[in-house]
Amino acid sequence: MNLWENNVRRVVPYTPGEQPKCSYIIKLNTNENPFPPSPKAAQIVKEFDSDKLRLYPDTDSTVLVDALAERYGVDSDRIFVGVGSDDVLSMAFLTFFNSDKPVIFPDITYSFYDVWCDVYRIKYETKALKDDFTIDANDYFCENGGIVIPNPNAPTGVLQSVDMFESILKANTNSVVIVDEAYIDFGGESCVKLIDKYENLLVVQTFSKSRSMAGARIGYAFGSKKLIKYLNDVKFSINSYTMNWVTQLAGAESVKDEEYFQKTKNEIVRVREYSKEKLAELGFEFPDSMSNFIFATHKTVPAKTIFEKLKEKSIFVRYWNKDRINNHLRITIGTQEQMDKLFEALCEILSENERS
């Protein structure tokens, strides 16, 4: 080993869902929205004046932040934006989790959390979900250097109540509590309404799921003025120009297009509920998802077998070979047509298994 390698910061990186390069794949493995973004956002991209690219973008992303402020009824100085919610969360970890005490989060959750802890040398502990994949709030009534919990949780899709999060906030006034609401638009009540009450609460959301803009990379957070100022201080100490002009403008138009947002979101919820019925008929079991995916296990056929057989049929779902969830599949909700093709394939796979 070269001597310079002694000073390399080594981490095991986050593993994203597979991104197949061919177009004929039915892609149900990364929780992307199956519908296109708002036509108003698309029009911004189409008509954008490329000459503007020679200029640095607005460091404050004012047009986007103001649109979010109006949509959610929150002052602009209580909103932080970043390049996807991953960027927002990463910046929050770097800014707020600097205690000698461990940060805590669920054992089954978004698998980027422990990666950021490793990158930033943050101590952490995980708290085991109950057998039904719900959180026991009592696990978070303890000394800690910060808390981060997704709601609905990923990859389970389980939604917890705002009251439960408020009980955690009441017990943790000395550390920052992050609620990661990447999937909240598909059926949950947001904790944004609590930011007036708790100065240490940061609520993070994204355009990647319900707003069909995963490729644009827009994330945002709500919090007290003090929290947002601290986040911006760190962000501007690293890179002031993180979000480009096109993304800022297209994102603002997406926020303003409430009718399209509600239409596509409601269709995903409809197809999700339909998919629950179909999966149950096929012998699958799953927690009641309030997200744009279902976390399912079959009563008799191993998840890994189903995953591999589906892939042979050009249908991608997500599988983790990890403790407690290695017999589950996370299935993104696609269009009605995509889901019907999935169910047809599952019928074939299950029938083949019965005959073998």
pLDDT tens string 167-188:
999 999 999 999 999 999 999 9
DSSP 3-state assignment of 303?
helix
Residue 349's pLDDT is what?
97
Mean pLDDT for 326-341 is 98
Q: Is-contact 272 294, C-beta < 8 A? A: yes
Whether the predicted pLDDT of 200 surpasses 80: yes
Q: Is-contact 27 33, C-beta < 8 A? A: no
Q: Give the DSSP per-residue string, 26-50.
A: EE-SS---SSPPPHHHHHHHHH--G
DSSP secondary structure code for residue 194 in this structure? G
Mean pLDDT for 302-311 is 97
* 277 — pLDDT class (breaks 50, 70, 90): very high
Average pLDDT, the chain: 96
How far apart are alpha carbons 278 and 321 in whole angstroms? Answer: 25
DSSP secondary structure code for residue 19 in this structure? -
Which residues partner with 285 through β-bridges? 297
Segment among 7-16, 122-131, 238-247, 285-294 with least mean pLDDT: 7-16
**Phi and psi (nearest 5°) for 132?**
-90, 10
**Which candidate, 6, 63, 27, places its Cα nearest to that of 245?**
63
DSSP secondary structure code for residue 124 in this structure? E
How far apart are alpha carbons 139 and 127 in whole angstroms? Answer: 7
**Owner of token pair 């008509």:** 47
Segment among 4-8, 57-61, 231-235, 331-335 with least mean pLDDT: 4-8
- What does the block give as tokens for 2? 């070269």
* 190 — pLDDT class (breaks 50, 70, 90): very high
Domains of the chain: 18-36+259-355 (3.90.1150.10), 39-256 (3.40.640.10)
How many helices (H) and strands (E) would you count in the chain? 10, 13
Residue 137 CB neighbour total at 10 angstroms: 18
Residues shown for the chain: 356
Please name the amino acid found at residue 257.
D
How far apart are alpha carbons 68 and 209 in whole angstroms? Answer: 16
| Beta strands 177-180; 201-206: pairing state | parallel
Q: Is the model's pTM score more than 0.75?
A: yes
Residue 15's pLDDT is what?
83
**Owner of token pair 């061919």:** 22
Whether the predicted pLDDT of 75 surpasses 90: yes
pLDDT tens string 104-133:
999 999 999 999 999 999 999 999 999 999
How far apart are alpha carbons 7 and 14 in whole angstroms? Answer: 21
pLDDT tens string 2-58:
889 988 989 989 888 888 877 789 999 999 999 999 999 999 999 999 999 999 999
| Beta strands 146-150; 177-180: pairing state | parallel
Whether the predicted pLDDT of 252 surpasses 80: yes
Residue 1's pLDDT is what?
72
Mean pLDDT for 232-244 is 95
